[in-house]
Chain A
């Protein structure tokens, strides 16, 4: 069992929380990282910014642009992570071009050396993930795959089988970003996924408030919250404020009864 699988267990007795942070977005981004880790996160998704984030809405585009304008790069973000080891697992997310630029093997080894335990590459679907998946396994990094409301049943099963660490359930047909309401497609997808895998199912995309997180966690094992946190950070929130937001998500999730492994298939 990999470290991520040990830490992100469905039967951990509470709903899981994975906040997202764009690497290098501000000079003090690692202060936010530590503050969020201490505020009740079970893992943190750290985005390595890419020039052309085609699956991201305006907030994370803005965060990526801000980070790149500050000179953020793959090497820089990984060096920052290496210097700022935190207690909770770090899952890096980025786009295929950055992962493949110097070869998937080198990229995954660099992640492992920086203490990163998981990887998300949204534009590497099942058919294109083979080489990166093997490289990640060799480096002891878990490559988590995405499932979407449009994914048909057989494909969903294959994604769940080949995903490592957890399965990323994209709650809606759209880009990242805050939404007024949790998409109706979220619950159905989380339930479908839980029916085909024992790995934890994280719902992400559009989960913007503690109340939405609590609703999402009724059907999923955990939630990923990105744009809502990054909006605060871009608006000038200090590490204490971002941590405060994460704590409010934690409290909302802790109000949701966690299922035991006995009914994990439900």
Chain B
């Protein structure tokens, strides 16, 4: 049963488990709400009508399929074939739209009247605000005060789209605390509100549900690799990991191939690489914590990776040895973002730049030998990070 998720990636995990991880560690008042979402999604996902409504929105509204772009100049510089899965080209500028369109359709099908969401970098908040506007559902987004300061551009985008942004002042004032606050609000609003979780985290069914909605990334990429690569599949598949939704969606398309799967975390938020088994936000997985069990604060220049844990499926893939989890520092990620901008004319989100940073570091070593091929998911575009990149280049150029 351990390998069920590998044999049939579309099957719901047994009792919400990915091996020893996952589960539904929520207070009793939220159990009925989780069961309601699970039943509704199980039914909707088996319904051709729901699938076709979602497919219609993904193509006519969100711009799917996204291209697989060979990064020709970067490939020549690094000596490896780099293919970029361009989630940055979707409507709203990141892979988050894949997930929210599915969940917003689900919320409407369930008869819910509004959406709530947590956000870190603001991309999931913007995507949820967008889906809410599109489907006529009011949106409330919980966002850490610290993230509100560093992602002012996205805060305005959410408000422009008609969403209410609620600042969260507790704890580290980042994604972890925004998630806690969204859960607190959800307890009091389960009747009319749908909690649109932004990553492959949270109580069952969310890690499975979000993985299923993001699997479109990996499925498209697998077909595109078959067309573009003589070997048919890339040697390695790399994606950045905060909670891990773009990586989970990407890996879903390659878990049954021989490709090596690599998740790249922020050095200051490496739940999968450096965490220990724990329970937070409704699921068991790997979390940064002290010896007493207090959760540590994550620290990353990329707000979207500023999470002390990782989705339970990633913890399971690590247990199985099927995927590896490595880290990139703030500096490496910023340098990789600038490098891609200048080599390919593509400005990636700093989150996505972590995946590139690992490729840059590993290329030509035994980790990523010269001549091999690597698929990198560019989960989002860097427009939101312009101020951070300006500060970084200012520092660099002053040296």
Interfacial residues, chain A to chain B (CB-CB below 8 A): 50-57, 61, 65, 68, 73-75, 95-98, 100-102, 122-128, 145-152, 155, 159, 170, 173-175
- State the CA gap A169–B157 with chains docked (Å): 42
Is B97 interfacial (CB 8 A cutoff)? no
Which chain B positions have C-beta within 8 A of A147? 28
Neighbouring A residues of B191 by C-beta, 8 Å: 173
Residues of B near A173 (CB, < 8 A) are 29, 187-188, 190-191
Contact (Cβ within 8 A) A175 B279:
no
| Contact partner, B180, options A54, A146, A170, Cβ 8 Å | A54
In the docked arrangement, what's the CA distance between A96 and B25, Å? Answer: 8
Are B28 and A61 neighbours in the complex by a CB distance under 8 Å? no
Q: Which residue of chain A has its CB nearest to the CB of B29?
A: A148
Residue from the set A123, A146, A149 with the largest chain B CB neighbour count within 10 Å: A123
Bound-state Cα–Cα, A150 to B188, Å:
11
Q: Is the CB of A52 within 8 A of B27?
A: no
Q: Is the CB of B31 within 8 A of A55?
A: no
Partner of B187, one of A97, A159, A175: A175
Residue in B26, B29, B33, B176 whose CB lies within 8 Å of A52: B176
- Asked whether any CB of chain A lies closer than 8 Å to the CB of B15, the reply is yes
Q: Which residues of A contact B183 (CB under 8 A)?
A: 54
Q: List 27 A-B contacts (CB under 8 A).
A: A50-B293, A53-B180, A54-B184, A54-B281, A61-B170, A65-B170, A65-B171, A74-B292, A98-B294, A100-B279, A122-B27, A123-B25, A125-B27, A126-B28, A126-B31, A127-B23, A127-B24, A145-B28, A148-B28, A148-B31, A149-B29, A150-B28, A151-B32, A152-B32, A170-B27, A174-B187, A175-B187
Q: Would A150 and B31 count as touching, CB distance under 8 A?
A: yes
The answer to whether B187 touches A51, judged by C-beta atoms less than 8 angstroms apart, is no
B171 close to A51 (CB less than 8 A)? yes
Asked if A98 meets B293 with Cβ closer than 8 Å, knowing A57-B184, A127-B15, A150-B29, the reply is yes
Q: Which residues of B contact A56 (CB under 8 A)?
A: 184
Asked if B304 is at the interface of the complex by the 8 Å CB criterion, the answer is no
B180 near A128 (CB under 8 angstroms)? Answer: no
> Which of B1-37 touch A at CB < 8 Å?
15, 23-29, 31-33
Taking the complex as formed, is B166 at the interface, i.e. its CB lies under 8 A from any CB of chain A?
no
Q: Mark B254-277, 1 if CB is under 8 A from A, else 0.
A: 000000000000000000000000
Query: Are A97 and B31 closer than 8 Å at their CB atoms?
Result: no
A152 contacts which chain B residues (CB < 8 A)? 32
B side interface size, CB within 8 A: 34
CA gap between A119 and B26 in the complex, in Å: 17
Q: Which of B27, B32, B293 has the most C-beta atoms of chain A within 10 angstroms of its own C-beta?
A: B293
A254 to chain B, nearest CB (A): 30
Query: Residue of B at shortest CB range from A49?
Result: B294
Chain B residue with Cβ nearest A170: B29
Query: Which residue of the partner chain, among A50, A61, A127, A155, contacts B294 with CB atoms under 8 Å?
Result: A50
User: When the two chains form their complex, are residues A125 and B292 in contact, meaning their CB atoms are under 8 A apart?
Assistant: no
Q: Could you say which of A100, A126, A174 contacts B278, with CB atoms under 8 Å apart?
A: A100
Interface residues of B in 311-369 (CB under 8 A from A): none
Name the A residues within 8 Å of B176 (CB-CB): 52
**A123-B26 contact given A54-B281, A150-B33, CB 8 Å threshold:** yes
- In the bound complex, do residue B31 and residue A101 qualify as a contact, i.e. CB atoms below 8 Å apart? no
CB-contact partner of B28 in A51, A96, A101, A125, under 8 A? A125
The answer for the CA separation of A81 and B23 in the assembled complex, in Å, is: 32
Q: Closest CB of chain B to A153's CB: distance in Å?
A: 12
Assess the A74–B28 pair: CB atoms within 8 A.
no
B244 interface hit (Cβ, 8 Å)? no
Question: Nearest 9 CB-CB pairs, A to B?
Answer: A101-B293, A148-B29, A174-B188, A96-B279, A146-B28, A150-B32, A98-B293, A51-B294, A148-B28
Is B188's CB under 8 angstroms from A124's CB? no
**Distance between B118 CB and nearest chain A CB, rounded to angstroms:** 12
B74 within 8 A of A: no
Whether B282 is near chain A, meaning CB under 8 Å from some CB there, is yes
